[in-house]
Structure formats: structure tokens, C-alpha cells
Chains A and B, each alone.
Chain A
Amino acid sequence: MSILIYAESAEGKFKKVAFELASYAKKVAETLGTTVTAVTVNAGNVSDLSKYGVDKVLKVNSEKLAGFTAKAYADVIRQAAEKENVKLVLLSSTTDSLYLAPLVAVALNAGYASNVVGLPLSTSPFQVKRNAFSNKAFNITEIATDVKVLGLAKNSYGVFENGSSLAEEDFSPAIGENDFGVKVQSVEKASGKVTIADAEIVVSGGRGLKGPENWGMLEELAGVLGAATACSKPVSDLGWRPHTEHVGQTGKPVAANLYIAIGISGAIQHIAGINSSKVKVVINADADAPFFKVADYGIVGDAFEIVPKLTQKLKEFKAQNS
């Protein structure tokens, strides 16, 4: 009856979302009077999970699972859930976990709620609050099935330490050939760059920056903050920046701790995509830009003057505080 989490790792190290998910699961487990079990795939050292309240870990180590294969990974999670007889399976909202969750739900005959924000509102009936309408509203969803799958929205709960004694167990689920109908050929990943998905801070530019040649100052600011760079839709449509940087309703969602919008007016579709970010800062020459209505902090003025000054101040601040 334990709660099962899929603790995601990359290159043998847990992602931060795995610890957020563990923290969340621990709290739910306390409410339900049960324990937290994690399943890991080729995760290396799993002891870090004990800091966040995980009681037991099922370690899967397999050459076959070296590349991500959704069907096989979903099969692993299903078998872990069945072995532990769990009623609640929790996943994060990374690209991989979003891919897995519906497969896991069907395999377990489970109802699935994605984009969940906050702890369950009630456990009988089982109700959760989730983001919907592209972050313009919340939707309270009731899951009627015996087994339930939840996808926790990124950065919606936080990471909380909660020590536990971790029981480790090797787990070897059956993985069949028909789990590998989709084969990874190659992976193209920019190395050494902070990705929008992993970033705690995102620095984003809009048409107000006037041209791709002006992105240097934005990248410099991002560099000082350890931030990812992003852009508005018009900027990616104009080809100033790659589509992978387009954030907004039809682009990537952003749920960062800090989102800095420079020269972005704040179209409703843009705001929808970044609204899950905790703190929003806007720098824009137009005091009437809609972004000022949703931002926490703002400066009205010329970005070409303000951004280099801000970068300089932050450099000084970092030097003093490190």
C-alpha cells in the first residue's frame, strides 16, 4: 500500500525533480499513514533519496535500459507498482515523465491527473488541484479508480529534507523485446548550457531587443545568474533565436523561481506559458506593456541601458555574497 515514485535520473545522478517528488510523496504518505517507495533506473548511488523521506528503493540496473525507451520504462514502473501493491504512483513533469505517465496509467487501469499543484485536497474522494487552461485557471479533478497516477507540476511543491532510513533492494523486472519498438539513434544536446527545463532562473528576451545581434547582453546577464536564456514567440518566428528557446503557450512552459522578461510586452499566450514561475521581473520601455500587470518587480526604461547595469550590479552582488 506504499506510494510509489519514479525517481528520475540522468547519467547516474538524480534530477532535482526527483527530490521534489520524494518530498511531496512523503507528505502524502504521512496523511495516508503509509510509506514511500522509489523505483530507479540505472541511478547509481541512491542513498540521497533517504534525505527526502523515501523508505525503500527498488533499484533497476539494466544495460537494455541505458537509453530512454518509454514503453520499457513504463513497463518497469508498472511491475514495481504491482510488486508493492501500490495504489498511488507519482511522476514528475519532465519530458520523459510526461511521456511515461499515460502509458503507466493505462497499464495499471489507473486514472491519471497531470500538472498537479499542491497536496491532495481530499483523499476520499481523491481530489487534486491541477493547472489547466494553460495556467489561466485551476481545475479540481477527482480520480475515481482504485489505483491513481499523479504528475506533479515542476517547482510547485519544493524540496524538503526529511531523513529516513532507506532500504535498498535490487529489482529485475521482465523486459520483453516488444518494449523496444522505438529505438534511440542519437541524442543532440547542447552541452554546458543550462536548459529551460532545469533552470531555476530564466532570462528571456522579446522583440524590444531589436535584433539577434543584441542577445549578447542577455546572455551575459544569464551567465552571471546561472540562468537559461529564452525568448518570446515573435523572436523565434523571426528566426532571431532557435525554436528551442521559445517559451509560452505553444512553446515551452517555464516554472522557474525567477523569470526576467526583457523587451517582452506580455501577450496573453506568453504569460500563460511562464505564469507558473514564482517571481517575475519585467524590463520594458513601455509602461503600459501588459507584462507589468503580472510582474512582481519592474523597471520602465531602455533595456540597452538597464541590462548591462543590472549585470554589473549582480556581478558585484555575487562577489560579495559568495
Chain B
Amino acid sequence: MKILVCISHVPDTTSKINFSNGDSEFDTNGVQFVINPNDEFGLTRAIWFQEQQGANVTVVNVGGADTEPTLRKALAIGANEAIRVNAAPTDGFFVAKQLAEVVKNGGYDLVIAGRESLDYNGGMVPGMLAGLLGYNFVNSCIELKVDGTNATVAREIDGGKEIVATSLPLIIGGQKGLVEEKDLRIPNMRGIMTARTKALTILEPVSAESNTKAVKFEKPAPKSAVKLFSADDIDGLVNALHNEAKVI
């Protein structure tokens, strides 16, 4: 089984978010970048398939050379090889177009991408990729088993989960649950050393349009200070929730 794991290079979850150039660009100053958490759950599940079922795992990112450390980290975690499509990821559709090309040329059976990235939160790349390729697609996956060309997948639904049966080739929109937090791997020294010699192929992008454009960013308006009640004044809180906030 050939697996492609799509990796988004995103600010660490603790990052302070700021913008530059008249609020038109994300300010990367002092920001630590990581593998998008939803992608990391998928990557770890892919490594499980590699170890248990002999799968070959390729990671791919659409981005500039600055994203290579993130790909090297994925290699250190255990991916066999990496691909970087050398283009700025201008919008979800553009990225999906690039990935579709990689999938078609690489003959992947299983593609795992995070349900959404934690930067733009578009939540569109796995679905658009599935739409472009016409492959089977399950979003918000929390369990994934593959047996030959058959797959059994659990999908999170509002208030529970749904078990579906499908077949390869398959696109997965992954999230926590594919593996648990405790199963995530921190690259060890040996992994880091071998990652240096693993293949990282750079591909030039195919021509594709962007359907959307991020024109500007805004930060939420500063909040007014919290209204405190003493532990003896529960009535005060209940009154405020009823009369002022009108939420009960």
C-alpha cells in the first residue's frame, strides 16, 4: 500500500498571532512552525500501517523552502520519503490541484490529510482533492483500518460516530482519534540522522488558479474586563446571566 500524507506547515498552537504589512500578511516573526496537529495524527497512523502492514509512506507539502524542516521532521518520525511542491499555497483549491497531480503521478492508494489546518482553518483540501480525483472520501476520521483494498473507517458525527465501509483508493480527512495523543512520536536521534539522507523531491507546481484570496486580517477587538462575583454572591451571577447577558 502506498500512502501519501499531506502535511501543512502551521504556527505552533501556542503562537501569538500577529499581522504585518498593513494587516495583509501573517507575521512569521518569532513564530515556531510545526506539523499541523490534524496531519500529525494521520502521519502517525500511516507509520503504523508501515510498521504493521508494510506500507510505504510519502509526505507532501505545498510550500516554499522554509517548510522543509517540517518535512524533515515528518521523515524523522518515520516517513520513507518527502515531496515538496515548490509554490506558495495561495488557497485551498490551488493546493488541492497540486496534490491531485502528485496523487495521480504517484499512484497512491491512500491519502491522509488533516481535516483542517490550524492556520487558515479552511477545511477544504481533503474534500476538494477527493472531488478532483473522484476517489472515495471520508472526512473527520477517528479510526481507520485497511484490509487489502477494503477500508473500515469511523467518522465523527455530531454527538457520536458513524462506521462506514469503503475501498481504496481513498482520501481521508483526519483528526485526533486516528491515533491518540499519547501515540504521537517525538523523533529520536536515529530518526533525525536517517531523515537527513532520505529523499526530499522538489516538484514544480502545475498551473492552477486560486479561487479565493486572503485580502486582509483582523484581530478580535479587545475584551472588556471580567465582571467578578464573590463566592457568596451566586445570586449576582445568576441575575447577570439572566438580565444582562440574557443567556438563561
Q: Which residues of A contact B (CB under 8 A)?
A: 68, 70-71, 74, 94-96, 98-103, 105-107, 110-115, 127, 129-134, 136-145, 151, 181-190, 193, 195-198, 200-201, 225, 233, 237, 243-244, 246, 249-251, 257-258, 268-269, 272, 275, 278-279, 281-282, 292-302, 305-306, 309-310, 313-314, 317, 321
Contact = CB atoms under 8 A, between A and B. Distances in A.
Interface in B206-248: 210-220, 223, 226-231, 234-235, 237-238, 240-242, 245, 247-248
Nearest to B118: A134
Contacts of A295: 226
A96 B213 contact: no
A141 B212 contact: yes
Contacts of A142: 212-213, 215
Contact of A292 (B173, B218, B226, B237): B226
A250 B175 CA distance: 8
Given A114-B124, A139-B217, A278-B247, A105 B131 contact: yes
Given A182-B136, A281-B241, A295-B226, A106 B128 contact: yes
A296 B240 CA distance: 10
A260 B234 CA distance: 14
A223 B177 CA distance: 28
B203 interface: no
Nearest to B173: A99
B164 A110 contact: no
A190 B138 contact: no
Contacts of B162: 68, 184, 186-188
Given A101-B127, A137-B17, 12 more contacts: A95-B140, A101-B124, A140-B217, A145-B211, A182-B136, A183-B166, A185-B152, A189-B161, A278-B245, A294-B223, A296-B245, A314-B238
Interface string B57-70: 00000000000000
Contacts of B176: 243, 246, 250-251
Given A112-B124, A131-B121, A297-B241, A140 B216 contact: yes
A300 B122 contact: no
A314 B241 CA distance: 11
A134 B121 contact: yes
Interface of chain A, main secondary structure: mixed
Nearest to B19: A137
B186 interface: no
Contact of A143 (B119, B126, B182, B211): B211
A133 B121 contact: yes
B193 interface: no
A7 B19 CA distance: 36
B167 interface: yes
Contact of A112 (B92, B157, B215, B218): B92
Chain B CB within 10 Å — which of A250, A282, A294 has the most?
A250
B204 interface: no
Contacts of B226: 282, 292-293, 295-298
Contacts of A115: 121, 123
Contacts of A110: 211
A268 B13 CA distance: 8
Contact of B235 (A68, A292, A313): A313
B172 to A, nearest CB: 11
A74 B19 CA distance: 36
A306 B211 contact: no
B237 A281 contact: yes
Contact of A298 (B126, B158, B229): B229
7 contacts: A133-B120, A182-B136, A183-B164, A190-B159, A281-B237, A296-B245, A297-B229
B164 A182 contact: yes
Nearest to B223: A294
A68 to B, nearest CB: 8
Contacts of A103: 127-128, 130-131, 137
Nearest to A250: B37
A184 B164 contact: yes
A74 B124 CA distance: 14
A299 B228 contact: yes
Contacts of A269: 13-14
Contacts of B215: 127, 140-142
B21 to A, nearest CB: 14
